[in-house]
Amino acid sequence: MSMTDRVRRLRQNSLEAIPTISTERAELITEFYSRNLGLISPPVHRALAFQFLLENKTIWIGEGELIVGEKGPAPKATPTYPELCCHSLEDLDILDSREKIPFKVSPAARQVYAERIIPFWQGKSLRDLLFREMTPEWKAAYETGIFTEFMEQRAPGHTVLDDKIYHKGMLNFKEDIHRSLEALDFYNDPDAYDKQEELRAMDICASALICFAERHAEKARQLAEQTDDPQRRWELEQIATICSWVPAHAPRTFWEALQYYWFVHLGVTIELNTWDSFCPGHLDQHLYPFYMRGLAEGSLTRPQAEELLQCFWIKFNNQPAPPKVGVTAAESGTYTDFAQINLGGLKPDGSDAVNEVTYLLLDVIEEMRILQPSSSIQVSKKNPDQFIQRAAKIIRTGFGQPSIFNSDLIVQELVRQGKTVIDARCGGSSGCVEVGAFGKENYNLTGYFNIPKVLELTLNNGIDPLSGRKVGLETGDPAQFKTYEELFNAFTRQLNYLIDIKIRGNQVVERLYARYMPAPFLSILIDDCIRKGKDYHDGGARYNTSYIQGVGMGTITDSLAAIKYHVFDHHTLTLVDLLELLRTNFENHERERLLLSNKTPRYGNDDDYADKLMRSVFEVYFSAIDGRKNTKGGEYHINLLPTTVHVYFGSVMGATPDGRKAGMPLSEGVSPVQGADRHGPTAVIKSVAKMDHVRTGGTLLNQKFTPQLLQDDAGINRLVQLVRTYFKLDGHHIQFNVVDADTLREAQKHPDQYRDLIVRVAGYSDYFCDLSKTLQDEIIARTEQKSW
């Protein structure tokens, strides 16, 4: 394992680069939208905007780089997207000065925003339109923290690429587009004209990406002429040759394959700030033919491949996620943009996909130890133990990567949703834990849903106790509930009412994007947009899924268990007493709080009393959402993950019946409440596996391990078997935070000494010192699984 001087320098530069707000994109897009192009269809308008951006943005080739191209004008110079969401001056000041995840805003940038960007876009961005279109019920629920809305600041994302770009250049895609154009039937197809406009837009975008690469080739040739270093001159000439070949044509070499992907990545994320996670997917499978051919022909060595991959990794790390404003800034404060490279798993034919490049990539992940891209291993029963052992040795180093997914289960989940088996095997996980058919699906997280808040509203007859606003349904005076079933029925009705509000909003948001923000470039890349002549946002993809992510499964289960156990089964408390305790946040009633917290059967202990309640909540949530139609010809499905929103959702809630105090974080993913699991990881796994993961599109289980549990081979092997057992029980995903609580407390006290401490947050890793104090405390509190 090694890092060349070049890589060490590039990595260091990337780590040290300070994230800034770049106004270049905002200025260009504003200039473009200021032009009066006359009447023009939205897809073509967006395509021309894309072309204008790529023709005019700054081309950056850094010293020593082998993979070239930046989203902004320089590493970590982060573009903004005012047509979607226009930052105010106050937003910029907050970004500039906030302690965590800051973005430096220069006085010049501030001035550009004040004089040109804000006057042009204020009140006119998609975000403004979106909020205008939402109903008062939606706004009330949104403002009181019942759900969030992903698309208020970023375009629908979460898609991942399959292998098509390794076989086809943009010129080939243009041929496909022209074939579709020629096949349009204006006599019989009423949508023929709309399709023509969409296909024309795609054609413009394909050409634009080729020109963008050519600009890099020119820049490389200029730099080659200027340098005195013969080695660097040779490299720059290579870069120029490569950029002239890809993305116009299919790649021929390992290097070309990586550079091609990178241009595509830039194209997708410059066109729209696609939410999270756009990434190459099964990179080991995609690169394998290029790697083997290179080795066989003698044109590539393992160290060369390794260096190219390391350079590729650094490119991801140079792109902080576009900064957000308002509620979403609090819900997900991170620089990471959730690209999750999948390793291992299954080939399309269903055989073991682990290959030499898989192990090469694991080496790269361990050496690079950077935030982005994230990585996961896809574990099938067909994969060798050695593969998981190798990954476990990286997990042991405490850097939170890679996370671990059940590849066989993901296939089942996708097939249940209606994908073909082959398309399902080509799929995988992306973002945090959500599944999709790579290269063929528009799957979207539409917003988090605060399940414990539904109980809070139920216990207050539809009133949000924090704001005093009536946001829910009047499901009855809780004091009148005679049985647990009555209470649970009220909860069920409340949940359905609020989900309906969320879905109604979603249906509008989807149409807003379809109509005003088509993504013709992304549409080239996702089957079957070209064939159908339809945009990615408008049902062009082969599969279209809208997810609503449930949050707080542990908190809601334990809360219901506390009510059932103490109020209805054992009569230790009346519901009225309990409500009073919650209302007063257990003030002067610590003993009663401990009764609820310590003397209740709780989720995560393999105790059927609590686990059955978890299953009942799952069924209610599933039934409220799964199978409902979205606007793209697809369906709604559920998944259960929080990113960091369990902190925000906790902050808008009063005390809960599980003994949680007001304002404290909710449980995350499908993990038990922090500290409620008292019987170790096998009991947690047994509890969590009682959920029917097959009917989700992803669940997230976090386990915190102390380093001692993994220090020797026995520890590593037991971990492998623990994971294998969870997956045999049809668990979806598990990740391990390997760090002891004392270390975390030290890091909290002395952040400067722990700048490099990366921890698993929730489906992604982040620098511990960049997390908010609340989230830091929450991570420390998560059960430390000790065994000796």
In the complex, what is the shortest distance from the CB of residue 14 to another protein, in angstroms, rounded to a whole number? 36
Considering the candidates 279, 426, 432, 769, report the single residue annotated as catalytic: 432
Nearer to another protein, 446 or 597 (CB): 597
Nearer to another protein, 41 or 725 (CB): 725
In the complex, what is the shortest distance from the CB of residue 391 to another protein, in angstroms, rounded to a whole number? 17
In the complex, what is the shortest distance from the CB of residue 611 to another protein, in angstroms, rounded to a whole number? 12
Residue 49's alpha-carbon distances to 193, 273, 677, in angstroms, are 21, 14, 53
In the complex, what is the shortest distance from the CB of residue 525 to another protein, in angstroms, rounded to a whole number? 40
Considering the candidates 65, 434, 441, 778, report the single residue annotated as catalytic: 434
Q: Is 99 among the residues known to form the active site?
A: no
**What is the 8-class DSSP label of residue 664?**
P
* 228 backbone dihedrals φ, ψ, rounded to 5°: -95, -10
In the complex, what is the shortest distance from the CB of residue 714 to another protein, in angstroms, rounded to a whole number? 6
Q: Is 432 among the residues known to form the active site?
A: yes
Nearer to another protein, 276 or 592 (CB): 592
- Locate 686 and state its tokens: 């047994």
Nearer to another protein, 304 or 717 (CB): 717
CA atoms lying within 13 Å on the CB side of residue 710: 25
What's the gap between Cα 82 and its chain centre?
22
Residues contacting residue 29 through CB under 8 Å, at least 6 positions apart:
49, 53, 81, 82, 83
In the complex, what is the shortest distance from the CB of residue 681 to another protein, in angstroms, rounded to a whole number? 5
What's the gap between Cα 500 and its chain centre?
24
In 110-238, DSSP assigns E strands to none
Nearer to another protein, 13 or 725 (CB): 725
CA-based radius of gyration for the chain = 26
Count CB atoms within 10 A of the CB of residue 349: 8
CA atoms lying within 13 Å on the CB side of residue 243: 26
Q: Are 464 and 457 in contact (CB under 8 A)?
A: yes
DSSP string covering 155-178: -S------SGGGT--HHHHHHHHH
Nearer to another protein, 132 or 591 (CB): 591
Helix (H) or strand (E) holding 351: none
N-term to C-term CA, the chain: 33
Nearer to another protein, 287 or 709 (CB): 709
Residue 1's alpha-carbon distances to 4, 159, 389, 608, 720, in angstroms, are 10, 32, 17, 47, 23
Nearer to another protein, 467 or 711 (CB): 711
What whole-number distance in Å separates Cα of residue 592 and Cα of residue 603?
20
* 590 backbone dihedrals φ, ψ, rounded to 5°: -60, -35
What's the gap between Cα 559 and its chain centre?
28
Identify the CA nearest to 634 among candidates 412, 423, 444, 432: 444
* 83 backbone dihedrals φ, ψ, rounded to 5°: -70, -25
Nearer to another protein, 255 or 586 (CB): 586
In the complex, what is the shortest distance from the CB of residue 229 to another protein, in angstroms, rounded to a whole number? 47
Identify the CA nearest to 152 among candidates 133, 179, 165, 173: 133
In the complex, what is the shortest distance from the CB of residue 535 to another protein, in angstroms, rounded to a whole number? 47
Q: Is 102 left (phi over 0), alpha (psi -120 to 50) or beta?
A: beta
| Binding-site ranges for another protein (CB under 8 A) | 590-592, 594-595, 598-599, 606, 679-683, 686, 709, 712, 714-715, 717-718, 721-722, 724-725, 728-729, 785, 787-788
As annotated, the active-site residues are 432, 434
